[in-house]
């Protein structure tokens, strides 16, 4: 049985078994330096994160369960002012306006708000991360001076009006128009039919006074594509819609009910020409359109690329929610006892059961991988938006990286919250323990700021483009050698020669097979080979698509859509594994490094186990080596068991952040009380005899 023994200094724990501690053998067990690991997890913007966490610990910002949606909305709007007063939302804005031009720090602090209330995080994101950022990044100095001060201090609550009822992820096809009228020097904003209404828009139902509206810019009879326009929505005094503007309340949702999502529509609403946010596209008084970016397609993606921070922040917020859930579930699992499998008198703690370890530790490993990958994404984001590395290629890389990681982290958060809920039984279903509430609030993360499946398709297209680029300019000899190499490799895999070679190398030894799988280079080779093979096969299948008609080309692409999205997900998982491996190189404490290596191996082998059929069918693993994957995972679970609490403590979230009753030590008190009661009964001879024991004694007596 495993318990935790307090470290001699501080309140950090040194994991070891009670038996080992009693025998003086604790030094044989590696120990995690929780403080150092916690600092590493905080990343480059550690000071900002700690400041944000202190703010998130404030009861004034905490979600109160059971409020009506109207009460919750009012509370969250009041909390926005609290953020303003505590200077928590201005980091990304220009220094000239009171900000600090700290783009990475802004996201790092913003995503921590999820532990206070996801509704607060998202409503703050709408106000400053979308509405304000759109004005800042798509507008010019004139727009900044006119609107940003009011946006920053919340005098102008606003909306980011992009999504339409009829078009969500396909922004290029939105139907709202902004047609220039040279006779009045105005744009006329219009929603021509019901499907063109702006929908699911935060701040639209009650609070928004202004909006950045995305519409097709039409001038002189030419549609120049989607552009952003600043539109006043309501009279500040009466809070009533201005003429030509209407809307509806989206009402109660499956989560995030502290946000007043709603619908907006426009009937020939006239706005000044200068309300066009014209950094990337402008219209002069005569209606002539101009842009510093000649290509319409590149211009569109450049404008949308400036708003990538929404995906970056959701990636980080999802990781934070996963950390909070695992902290609560693993803490509870070290205290909750159930079934006396190995003792007549003592029940087992849940975390000593193998299945319980696997369901929580594999998700713990993935959370660490996602956390390290997010830090790399955040640094890439800061490099681009600070101007340190801001080429077209850098922006494309950032867009692709965000599109790869956001789906994985948001899906993982939902999966982790559900698994942690189930792992805590009935207690996990109670709202006081937050799993159900957090999962409801995070549910929409999988589809907003880009539907996860659509984002992975974007990644897949980038992978195909990069694959094609490798061979665009090579000569015939190089390409011929590559094709021969591919053919040879395929022949080896498909005939089973590689399987035979592995089996011979393992010589029937499970230990040797396990050593090969836990090797860093072996894991990298397996994970990388799967991505490369999947992309190569898809590229081969789609070769010549460009020469087909649009209809036939689309049909061919659609036939391979599943494989492409699977390849993109495999690529994103490889990025997380590489980020985890990179982070290991920065760990100096031997004990911490050993434990994190086990955790990284658990992540890598869990990916291989999940896709074991692919590796077997494609000849990448022998049956012998394939059998050892699950066995070695089980060995890793045993090794990680003593360190589980330290690994979640390193996340740095205290009781005021987790706010789950089952993670407060209350369960341990209950269990200790119960154990003391039964011990006392046994010691005093007052314990009743168990019927099964009595029967066993009777049978034994008859035999004698």
Are 152 and 97 in contact by the 8 Å Cβ rule? The answer is yes
What is residue 12's predicted lDDT score, i.e. its pLDDT?
54
Residue 23's domain spans which residues?
Answer: 1-31
CA 51 – CA 174 distance, rounded (Å)? 40
Q: Is 664 within the bounds of a domain? A: no
**What pairing do the DSSP bridges indicate for beta strands 262-266 and 282-283?**
unpaired
CATH (domain of 634): 1.20.140.10
How far out from the chain centre does Cα 350 lie? 28
DSSP secondary structure code for residue 130 in this structure: I
- Taking the C-alpha atoms of residue 539 and residue 556, their distance in angstroms, rounded to an integer, is 12
pLDDT the model gives residue 8: 32
Task: Give me the pLDDT at residue 24, please.
Answer: 40
Task: Identify the pLDDT of residue 694.
Answer: 81
Please give the model's pTM, rounded to 2 decimal places.
0.91
Structural domain contains residue 2: yes
User: Which residue, 512, 424, 386, 528, is CA-closest to 95?
Assistant: 386
Helix (H, G, I), strand (E, B) or coil at 279: coil
337 and 469 housed in the same domain: yes
Rounded Cα distance, 412 and 370, in Å: 9
Which residues of the chain have a pLDDT value below 70?
1-27, 342-345, 471-514, 704
One domain for residues 468 and 320: yes
- Give burial (CB, 10 Å; 0-12/13-18/19+) of 247: buried
Give the pLDDT of residue 148: 97
- Of 200, 218, 208, the closest CA to residue 242 belongs to 208
- How many residues belong to the chain? 704
Domain end position, chosen among 305, 330, 360: 305
10 shares its domain with 125: no
Q: Which helix (H) or strand (E) holds 676?
A: helix 666-684
Determine, yes or no, domain membership for 662. Answer: no
What confidence score (pLDDT) does residue 19 get? 38
Residues 151 and 68 in one domain: yes
Contacts by 219-225, CB closer than 8 A, 24 or more apart: 219/179, 219/180, 219/283, 219/287, 219/288, 219/289, 220/180, 220/287, 220/288, 220/289, 222/289, 224/281, 224/289, 224/291, 224/296, 225/172, 225/296, 225/299, 225/300
Q: Please report whether residue 194 resides in a domain.
A: yes
pLDDT at position 3: 37
> Alpha-carbon Rg of the chain, whole angstroms?
29
| Shared domain check, 195 and 316 | no
Let me know whether 1 and 63 are in one domain. Answer: no
Strand, helix or coil for residue 543? coil
Same domain? For 596 and 535 the reply is yes
Instruction: Specify whether the CB–CB gap between 271 and 184 falls below 8 A.
Output: no
**Contact between 460 and 567 (Cβ < 8 Å):** yes
Instruction: Name the token pair of 420.
Output: 């942690």
Residues 567 and 587 in one domain: yes
Q: How far apart are CA 642 and CA 594, in angstroms?
A: 13
Q: Is the dihedral of CA 331, 337, 343, 346 positive or negative?
A: positive
Do 485 and 370 belong to one domain? yes
Question: Looking at the structure, do residues 27 and 154 belong to the same domain, yes or no?
Answer: no
Domain finish residue from 285, 305, 325: 305
Per-residue pLDDT, 468: 82
Model pLDDT for residues 192-211, shown as the tens digit of each residue: 999 999 999 999 999 999 99
Q: Of 559, 567, 603, nearest to 583 (Cα)?
A: 603
What ranges make up the beta strands (E) of 435-479? none
Are 301 and 318 within one domain? no
Tell me how far apart the alpha carbons of residues 345 and 339 are, in angstroms, rounded to a whole number: 10
DSSP 84: H
Question: What pLDDT is attached to residue 29?
Answer: 86
Q: What is the pLDDT of residue 398?
A: 94
pLDDT for the residue 506:
56
174 — alpha (psi -120 to 50), left (phi > 0) or beta?
A: beta
On whether both 280 and 315 belong to a single domain, the answer is no
* Distance between CA atoms of residues 53 and 42, nearest Å: 11
Which of residues 305, 334, 368 is at a domain's end? 305
- Please check whether residue 332 is in contact with residue 668, taking contact to mean a CB–CB distance below 8 angstroms: no
Q: Write down the pLDDT at residue 630.
A: 93
Which structure tokens are listed for 515? 């050593």
**Residue 657, domain member (yes or no):** no
- What is the model's pLDDT at position 259? 98
Give the integer Cα–Cα distance in Å for 103 and 45: 11
């Amino acid at each position: 049985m495993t318990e935790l023994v307090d470290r001699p200094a501080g309140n950090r724990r040194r994991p070891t078994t009670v038996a080992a501690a009693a025998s003086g053998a604790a030094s044989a067990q590696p120990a995690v330096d929780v403080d150092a690991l916690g600092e590493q997890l905080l990343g480059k913007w550690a000071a900002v994160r700690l400041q944000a966490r202190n703010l998130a610990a404030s009861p004034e910002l905490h979600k109160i369960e059971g409020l009506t949606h109207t009460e919750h909305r009012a509370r969250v709007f009041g909390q926005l002012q609290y953020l303003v007063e505590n200077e928590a939302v201005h980091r990304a804005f220009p220094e000239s306006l009171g900000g600090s031009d700290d783009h990475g720090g802004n996201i790092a602090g913003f995503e921590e708000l999820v532990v206070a209330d996801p509704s607060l995080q998202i409503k703050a994101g709408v106000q400053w991360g979308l509405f304000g950022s759109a004005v800042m990044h798509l507008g010019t100095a004139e727009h900044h001076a006119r609107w940003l001060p009011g946006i920053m201090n919340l005098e102008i609550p606003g909306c980011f009006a992009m999504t339409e009822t009829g078009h969500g992820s396909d922004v290029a096809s939105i139907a709202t128009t902004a047609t220039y009228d040279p006779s009045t020097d105005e744009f006329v904003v219009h929603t021509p039919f019901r499907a063109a209404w702006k929908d699911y828009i935060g701040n639209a139902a009650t609070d928004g006074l202004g909006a950045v509206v995305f519409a097709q810019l039409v001038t002189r009879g030419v549609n120049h594509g989607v552009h952003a326009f600043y539109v006043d929505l309501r009279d500040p005094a009466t809070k009533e819609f201005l003429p030509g503007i209407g809307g509806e309340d989206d009402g109660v949702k499956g989560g995030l009910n502290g946000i007043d999502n709603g619908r907006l529509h426009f009937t020939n609403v006239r706005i000044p020409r200068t309300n066009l946010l014209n950094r990337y596209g402008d219209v002069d008084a005569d209606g002539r359109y101009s842009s510093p970016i000649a290509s319409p397609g590149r211009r569109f993606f450049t404008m949308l690329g400036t708003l990538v921070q929404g995906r970056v922040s959701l990636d980080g917020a999802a990781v934070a929610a996963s950390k909070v859930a695992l902290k609560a579930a693993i803490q509870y699992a070290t205290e909750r006892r159930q079934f006396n499998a190995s003792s007549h008198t003592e029940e087992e703690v849940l975390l000593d059961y193998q299945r319980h370890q696997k369901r929580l530790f594999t998700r713990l490993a993935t959370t660490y991988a996602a956390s390290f990958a997010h830090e790399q994404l955040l640094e890439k984001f800061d490099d681009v938006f600070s101007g340190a590395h801001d080429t077209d290629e850098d922006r494309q890389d950032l867009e692709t990286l965000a599109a790869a990681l956001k789906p994985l982290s948001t899906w993982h958060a939902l999966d982790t919250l559900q698994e942690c809920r189930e792992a805590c039984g009935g207690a996990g279903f109670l709202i006081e323990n937050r799993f159900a509430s957090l999962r409801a609030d995070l549910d929409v993360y999988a589809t907003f700021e880009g539907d996860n499946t659509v984002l992975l398709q974007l990644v897949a297209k980038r992978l195909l483009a990069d694959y094609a680029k490798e061979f665009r300019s090579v000569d015939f000899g190089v390409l011929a050698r590559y094709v021969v190499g591919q053919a040879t490799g395929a022949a080896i895999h498909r005939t089973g020669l590689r399987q035979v070679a592995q089996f011979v190398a393992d010589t029937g030894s499970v230990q040797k097979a396990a050593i090969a799988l836990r090797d860093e280079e072996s894991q990298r080779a397996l994970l990388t080979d799967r991505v490369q093979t999947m992309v190569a096969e898809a590229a081969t299948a789609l070769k010549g698509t460009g020469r087909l008609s649009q209809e036939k080309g689309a049909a061919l692409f659609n036939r391979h859509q599943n494989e492409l999205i699977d390849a993109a997900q495999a690529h994103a998982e490889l990025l997380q594994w590489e980020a985890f491996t990179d982070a290991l190189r920065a760990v100096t404490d031997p004990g911490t490094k050993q434990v994190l290596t086990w955790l990284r191996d658990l992540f890598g082998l869990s990916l291989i186990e999940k896709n074991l059929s692919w590796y077997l069918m494609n000849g990448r693993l022998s049956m012998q080596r394939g059998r050892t994957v699950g066995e070695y995972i089980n060995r890793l679970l045993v090794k990680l068991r003593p360190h589980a609490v330290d690994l979640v403590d390193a996340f740095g979230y205290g009781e005021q952040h987790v706010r789950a009753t089952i993670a407060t030590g209350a369960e341990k008190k209950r269990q200790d009380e119960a154990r003391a009661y039964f011990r006392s009964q046994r010691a005093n001879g007052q314990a009743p005899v168990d019927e099964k024991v009595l029967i066993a004694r009777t049978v034994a007596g008859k035999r004698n």
